[in-house]
Chain A
Amino acid sequence: MRAFWRILSFFEQWAAEVFHRPMLLFTLVIAPFLVLLIFGTGVELGGPKPRTIIVQPPDVDYDVEPIVNSLEQYVDFVGFEESLPLARAALERGDIDAVVVVPRTVQGHLQAGNQVPLEVLIGEVDPVRRSYARTFLMDQVGELNRQAIREAVGQAQADAPNLGLMVEQARGYLDLMEQARGDVEDMRTQVAELQALLGPAADSVDLISNRASGVALLIPGLGGSVDDLQRLSATLQSLQADVAEIQQRLDGDGEALLPTEAEVAEMRASLEEIEQLALPFTGTSPEVIAEPFELILQDVTPIEPTFTAFYSPGVVALLIQHLAITLGALAIAESRLLRVTDMLRVSPMRAWEALAGNYISYGVLCAVAAGFLLTALTLILDIPVAGSWAVVAGTLALLIACSLGVGFVIALVSSSTQQATQLSMLVLLASIFFSGFAFDLEQLVAPARWLAYAFPATYGIQLLQDEMLRGLTRSPEALAILGGGAVAAFALAWTLMRREFQPD
């Protein structure tokens, strides 16, 4: 029974201490929540948009506005500049974050069968934001390409009904040519009509084919469609050449050579092919051709994982670990500083009783802080617990026990309060980097990953995120490791405390 009162004396002392120092309660309970709240509401996903200047040559032969409109959802346009060196100088000074150089001509590049260069200069030194800029700019160039394909295909589709009509009319001229066999003059008229019919269609299809082939190089899946377009153009030009040759024979100085049946049959076959090749452009949506794959994203998580929801369990785990380690370390360090340790050593207090008393006192205090954080998380930040509250509570209890043990060990191996405080802060700093909070554990390699597994928060973050966001415990072994860590930390702290209680 005396052991019970001895253990309880620490709790009484701490309860009185908290009662006498309301600021302590604020520091321990309210302040962590404020940190969480500011984190939850004060961080913008993806960071600020890069400040961007567009370098536009004075003699551009197209409308730049669509490019600007499509880019501005990712960047913050601060103006236009004609001189690339001036824009580059502003970038190097850090006045802006990116420069987009639009080409002088688009048609010229496409007609030459080349891609249109869209040059982007970045001056960002933050590797995360550099990676972010690259990803989004590449995505945006892809979007521009898809947009060009959509336009090209749309144009082809707009022309496709004319091709059908043209084929029908051409067949009519061929019929008339067969009927006019022997009448050279009538034949000349029909051939000239046919040639006049084929010319504009061949030119139009040729232009569309050139535009589409330019963008198709970037999107392998579109190769087939563009090939068909090129075959259509070639067939039209071939037919046009055949008709021109017949026209030349009919218009020659010598005896007019009428088209043979075989020639007419060949022209009919060409028209058949033109009809077949034009069909896909009438029956298929430009969207399908431009983006043949459709992303169907199904979210199977029980709650919508917002940025705040994803990081909040990590913040809670880090705050609780830090609170427990700091309290544990300072409890022992303060006892030494106030020379209370001598009082304990002279009294009947045993090492394990002193340790148990501290575990209970600070454990209750940390549990209150954790309960307050969780309540505020769910009620104020509206982050639900998708899984079991019991697992969440158990995780936090083990996290507190393990972290308190680490704190006691830190204090018992430290020779001063300052050293204990510095070590506690060092653990916090390392935990932020290596516990899986800032970087995914998969991104860490040895020895950083080994270090990660030494922090209680690593397991706490994993367990809390799974239970709160996924609604399941993916790693029950993490609970076991956390429990084992708590036992190991207690055993080590007990050994050190027994040494502390030995006569000097």
Chain B
Amino acid sequence: MAATPAEASVPSSRASNEPPDDAIAFEHVTRRFGEHAAVDDVSLTVGRGELFGLVGPSGCGKTTLIRLIAGLLEPSEGDALVNGTEPTAFSARERQELGYMPQEFSLFPSLSIQQNCGFVAGLYGMGWFHRRRRIRDVLTFLDLWDARKRSAGRASGGMRRRLSLACALLHEPRLMLVDEPTAGLDPELRVRIWEHLHEIQARGTTVVVTTQLIEEAERCDSVGIMRAGQLIAHGPPSALRASAGLSEIVEVEAEELDRADVAAIWSLRTVRNARLVSSTRLRVEVDDAEAALPDVAGTLHDRGRVVHRVDTHEASFEDVFLELVEASRR
């Protein structure tokens, strides 16, 4: 569990004692569109109260999986349970427990931010008085209260994403499905969105979030990595990092490098893996960068290479992702 929930700041009337069962339990779920399997034999469990991230490149099946969880799509094969019920058989009461933020903006551009919230609150059967208070709280929480009278069509991309999030949050769902909330946003806004997601989780809400930005996965309690419709890895970020066998990286920049240099580095006892990034850059994976650095630098020096720069850092989740994707191909 890498993520650390921030302090809850959204008022909630619901008790935080949730049943211990899984919020999501998918067993060998496949969804085909014609011959193409957009989601292919996915088995997945998401614990209640967890912040679960689905990462993967565009078109890998993340949105299809979210729509299967929301009950918008029917599985072609396999068993899907969300809050203990098949999503396609959700009752109105069970839908009341679900919050959904779609990938695309799905509200009325001519209405104000506040009026859009009012419409969605109405969809969930919230009365006027309850609605007014709740909209104020949620919009304040998402820093939208001051812009509440602005029409959604004239709001910035970041405001629209937060408006969509607000609408998914209004009725205090137990499970929130958030599809690519940070797509197209600047880094500062992305950080704020993730802070909001952590705060929502801190209130006991299970959050399933998809993202193409691999490094964002580290902010989740648990991560599923998707490629070509398949869930190729699933678990906490630390466990995934371990399974990828990556801990620290030594990046070397030299005047000129070749395959023989890579082979020489590879043969070192302290090195787990080495690959040529370009004709001047070498990426070396090691267990302990501090211990391996003299060996790497010495070897290159012995081979007559002029080293300009050496950096060491912990393997990023992008490295983990690439490693796991590579492993799945093997």
Q: Which chain A residues have a beta carbon within 8 Å of chain B's beta carbons?
A: 1-6, 8-10, 12-13, 16-17, 20-21, 338-340, 342-350, 503-504
Contacts and interface: CB of A to CB of B under 8 A. Distances in A.
Given A339-B102, A504-B72, A348 B123 contact: yes
Given A13-B108, A503-B88, A346 B72 contact: yes
Given A1-B127, A9-B122, A13-B119, A346 B98 contact: yes
A459 B122 CA distance: 37
Contacts of A21: 110
Interface of B: 70-74, 87-88, 92-93, 95-96, 98, 100, 102, 104-112, 115, 118-127, 151, 167
A10 B108 CA distance: 12
Contacts of B124: 2, 6, 347-348
A343 B127 contact: no
Contacts of A9: 118-119, 121-123
A346 to B, nearest CB: 4
Contacts of A12: 115, 118-119, 122
A20 B114 CA distance: 13
Given A20-B110, A339-B106, A503-B88, A349 B115 contact: no
A348 B90 CA distance: 9
Nearest to A24: B110
Given A343-B100, A346-B100, A503-B88, A1 B72 contact: no
Interface of A is mostly: helix
Contacts of A344: 123
A1 B92 CA distance: 13
B107 A340 contact: yes
B92 A348 contact: yes
B123 A342 contact: no
Most buried by B among A6, A16, A346, A504: A346
B311 to A, nearest CB: 45
Contact of A17 (B71, B108, B121): B108
B123 A6 contact: yes
Given A5-B125, A342-B100, 6 more contacts: A16-B111, A17-B110, A342-B102, A345-B71, A349-B123, A503-B73
Nearest to A341: B106
B95 A504 contact: no
A5 B73 contact: no
14 contacts: A1-B127, A6-B124, A12-B119, A13-B108, A20-B151, A338-B107, A342-B72, A342-B106, A344-B123, A346-B72, A346-B98, A348-B95, A348-B125, A504-B73
B155 to A, nearest CB: 14
A339 B88 CA distance: 19
A118 to B, nearest CB: 67
